[in-house]
């Protein structure tokens, strides 16, 4: 089912608590649908592992982040896990200019900002028409805790902190158009993909 998804553009927002499997699902979506591009965010956190500047994130200093904020260049921004993150307006504009749909992997605060902004746009605005937001959740908090612990990427106190943040994020899940429970990665992927394709068909038909 490799539809290129570029006949009608979508603004796809995906949020999830850390450890819910969002990265795996988003990577597969981008791999199978060349009509969707990933919105590379800015962050003040340091690169991890193999992460590359401009590919995974634009890694900025606090001052560089402040400059962009003061210049009004962010579509949304938030502090997550003690670091600052933001999406540049130009990233979304460029994707739409290139006839692409865009996938934003952002936290619940950023998603709320985008939702609010999009709602205020006039009917017929392409960003409003193409907006779809999805929340990916773990089957339970116990499963999330196990996944975070097994991943062992983070220290014990960091895992505890991420769990506390996760509980807050889970409390926002009903604000999203769709909730996808990641009980099985393949099943969850197909559900996520179906919601997105349905949204696109809805737009095309409507
Ligand atoms: P990580 O540092 O582990 O890559 O991401 C931490 C969290 O920040 C994730 O929940 C991710 O969705 C969120 N995030 C990444 N980029 C942005 C962004 O541009 N804006 C907002 N609001 N959150 C972001």
Q: 111 is written with which tokens?
A: 């998603």
pTM: 0.93
| 3-state SS class at 81 | coil
Residue 29 lies in a domain: yes
| pLDDT, tens only, 121-174 | 999 888 999 999 999 999 998 988 888 888 766 678 888 888 888 999 999 999
Burial of residue 206 (number of CB atoms within 10 Å: 0-12, 13-18, 19+): exposed
Residue 75 lies in a domain: no
pLDDT at residue 158 in the model: 82
Q: How far apart, in whole angstroms, are the C-alpha atoms of residue 36 and residue 103?
A: 7
Residue 67 lies in a domain: no
Q: 94 is written with which tokens?
A: 């460029």
Residue 165 lies in a domain: yes
Residue 33 lies in a domain: yes
Position with higher pLDDT, 110 vs 19: 110
Ligand 1 in reach of 137 Cβ (< 6 A): no
Could you tell me the CA-to-CA distances from 89 to 55, 83, 134, 136, 174 in Å, in that order? 17, 20, 20, 24, 26
Beta strands in 55-130 (DSSP E): 57-59, 74-80, 83-88, 101-105
Residue 91 lies in a domain: no
State how many domains the chain has.
1
pLDDT at residue 1 in the model: 44
- Cβ atoms < 10 Å from Cβ of 159: 18
pLDDT at residue 81 in the model: 85
Domain region containing 201: 11-39+100-205
- What distance in angstroms lies between residue 79's CA and the mean position of ligand 1's atoms? 9
Q: Which element (helix H / strand E) includes 164?
A: helix 156-170
pLDDT at 206 over 80: no
| pLDDT, tens only, 75-121 | 999 999 889 999 999 999 999 999 999 999 999 999 999 999 999 99
> Which numbered atom of ligand 1 lies nearest the CA of 57?
16
- The CATH code of the domain that includes 126 is 3.40.50.300
pLDDT at 32 over 50: yes
Q: Are 4 and 100 within 8 A, CB to CB?
A: no
Ligand 1 in reach of 169 Cβ (< 6 A): no
Ligand 1 in reach of 56 Cβ (< 6 A): no
Q: Are 188 and 136 within 8 A, CB to CB?
A: yes
Residue 187 lies in a domain: yes
Residue 51 lies in a domain: no
Q: How far apart, in whole angstroms, are the C-alpha atoms of residue 12 and residue 193?
A: 11
- What distance in angstroms lies between residue 196's CA and the mean position of ligand 1's atoms? 21
């Amino acid at each position: 089912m490799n539809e290129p998804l570029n006949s009608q553009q979508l603004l796809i927002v995906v949020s999830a608590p850390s450890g819910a499997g969002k990265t795996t699902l988003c990577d597969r979506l981008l791999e199978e649908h060349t009509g969707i591009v990933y919105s590379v965010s800015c962050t003040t956190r340091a690169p991890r592992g193999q992460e590359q500047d401009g590919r995974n994130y634009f890694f900025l200093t606090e001052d560089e982040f402040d400059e962009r904020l003061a210049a009004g260049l962010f579509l949304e921004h938030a502090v997550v896990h003690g670091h600052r993150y933001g999406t540049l307006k130009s990233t979304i504009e460029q994707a739409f200019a290139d006839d692409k749909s865009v996938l934003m992997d952002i936290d619940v605060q950023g998603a709320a900002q985008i939702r609010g902004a999009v709602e205020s746009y006039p009917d017929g605005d392409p960003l409003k028409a193409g907006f779809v937001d999805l929340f990916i959740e773990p089957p339970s908090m116990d499963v999330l805790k196990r996944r975070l612990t097994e991943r062992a990427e983070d220290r014990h106190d960091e895992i505890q902190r991420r769990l506390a943040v996760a509980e807050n994020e889970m409390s926002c899940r009903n604000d999203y158009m769709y909730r996808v429970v990641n009980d099985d990665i393949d099943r969850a992927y197909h559900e996520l993909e179906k919601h997105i394709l349905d949204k696109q068909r809805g737009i095309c038909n409507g």
